[in-house]
Amino acid sequence: MESGDIEDGFVAPGFKPPINGIVLTRLKSKDNKGENEIPHIESDLAWSRKVYVRTWGCAHNSSDSEYMSGLLVNSGFKLTPNPDAADLWVLNSCTVKTPSENQLENEILKAKKKRKYVVVAGCVSQAAPTVEYLKNVSIVGVQQVDQIVNVVEETLKGNVVRHLSLRRKEALSLDLPKVRRNKFVEILAINTGCLNHCTYCKTKQARGDLKSFPVDEIVKRAKSAFSEGCKEVWLTSEDLGAYGRDIGHVLPDLLSQLVKIIPHDCMMRLGMTNPPYILDHLQEIADTLNHPRVYSFLHIPVQAGSDAVLAEMKREYTSEQFCKVVDFMRENVPGVYIATDFICAFPSETTDDFLDSMKLVEKYKFPSLFINQFYPRPGTPAARLKKIDTVEARRRTAAMTELFKSYTTYKNDRIGKNYRVLICEKATDKKSYVGHNKAYEHILVSSDKDLLGQWVTVQIKEVSKFYMKADLVEDNQTSLRKYYKLAVIPIILLMFFFIVKLL
């Protein structure tokens, strides 16, 4: 997968590569020019064929890519992080923003120029499979990721395959093989689709209505992930708070079962939830966030501070209701880390409406803020509305960004404080580790030791807008181990000399 080494592939016991050879012929393009010929692979199973997987978008998309990668590995394909070394590219797309779709289109053109086979997955191809740049490209739908092997094999034979349907009767199995981008993190989708009809959102057209996985299947998958060495389970979906409403459950029903099976040295993180569906369960959510093995972290997109704009967006809550959620969590969950999203320059947004959003940022000083300039997504109701002037849209986006930069997330009084952090990844500089404390605050840890998958005590030495830097602190247990180790060495030496003397 594009964002790191391929890790943690689970291959079926006893699985062996096929012994039959691979026969290559040539598939010519319409112009019959030799330079445009593409290898035609005829084989029951393309053993040793290399596949490159790239993912855009949310954690749910990342989970889908991990499932598709696992299925491909299980069927004999090799994954490569190098697109040039691959025979076929799987591009898992995101339809939330126009720029990511533009990147997808450019990537498809690049693949064709390099004479690579292409399979497009994700929300763009599901919601708009007839767009020009997807012509003659194989597609696997968001509810057909378990068909990726068939689609890839047929595509390598020169066929264009399209598995697309939102009417699938049986739910996708959670018990599929995975290749995790990070072997310590299980990204676990608990439902797909949502109950809302936000006027700007294209994802609804791709993911469809809410479909929740049964509680017991989710718990089983989480148990399996922990037993395989995962230290974190991230619950994800288009709207975590809506979980279960289609199967007679609510989110707290699931959370109460999951916290029972989290090992003592592991953590769970809740994903994005919209305000309407947790308003009735604030105490239960707070209790979950206070659990010692659950990060005190919540991502609640507000999108606008104006009730008029929220109504135009069909968000189904008011600014006051959003504030109620934030206030309750801050009062009842010590140190809770709340992230949120804003859309700047939605078509109906007036200057006063925008100022309402700015006031909300000023009031809460969110430590994490996702600021998005409005992009009209084709086929959505908001795309038919008159756009705000581009210059003004950029001005508003820049103004909110500057406001976010103006306040301090981590203050100097943190310097010198100690925290217990769980480390599950290396920083982008490859020199430091990324750790998270109970509040899921980002802490960069300097150490030449292998700390991945471990809990360590660190001391903050520096603070910045987006993270804190820390040094490793030797805890008492580590010190005792070192002491006993040093004490044992001379005893062993004395015993050795005594035995030699006796001989």
Quote the longest CA-to-CA distance of the chain: 97
Contact in structure between 330 and 321 (CB atoms under 8 Å): no
Kindly state the helix (H) or strand (E) to which residue 72 belongs, with its residue range.
helix 59-74
Least Cα distance to 471 among 481, 454, 457 occurs for 457
Asked if pLDDT for residue 348 goes beyond 90, the answer is: yes
Question: Which domains are assigned to the chain?
Answer: 23-163 (3.40.50.12160), 185-406 (3.80.30.20), 412-473 (2.40.50.140)
Summarised one tens digit per residue, pLDDT across range 371-408 is 999 999 999 999 999 999 999 999 999 999 999 999 99
Least Cα distance to 163 among 68, 36, 57 occurs for 68
Q: In the chain, pLDDT over 90 holds for what percent of residues? A: 79
Asked if pLDDT for residue 219 goes beyond 90, the answer is: yes
Distance, in Å, from the CA atom of 361 to the CA atom of 368, rounded to the nearest integer, reads 11
Kindly list the distances between the CA atom of residue 131 and the CA atoms of 64, 101, 128, 247, 282, in Å, as whole numbers in the listed order.
23, 11, 6, 35, 43
Min mean pLDDT across 4-18, 219-233, 349-363 is at 4-18
CA 137 to chain centre: 26
Rounded mean pLDDT of 61-85?
A: 95
Min mean pLDDT across 31-45, 260-274, 455-469 is at 31-45
Min mean pLDDT across 169-178, 246-255, 310-319 is at 169-178
Instruction: Give the pLDDT of residue 263.
Output: 98
By three-state DSSP, how is residue 388 classified? coil
Summarised one tens digit per residue, pLDDT across range 286-333 is 999 999 999 999 999 999 999 999 999 999 999 999 999 999 999 999
Asked if pLDDT for residue 369 goes beyond 70, the answer is: yes
Summarised one tens digit per residue, pLDDT across range 1-19 is 554 322 222 222 222 222 2
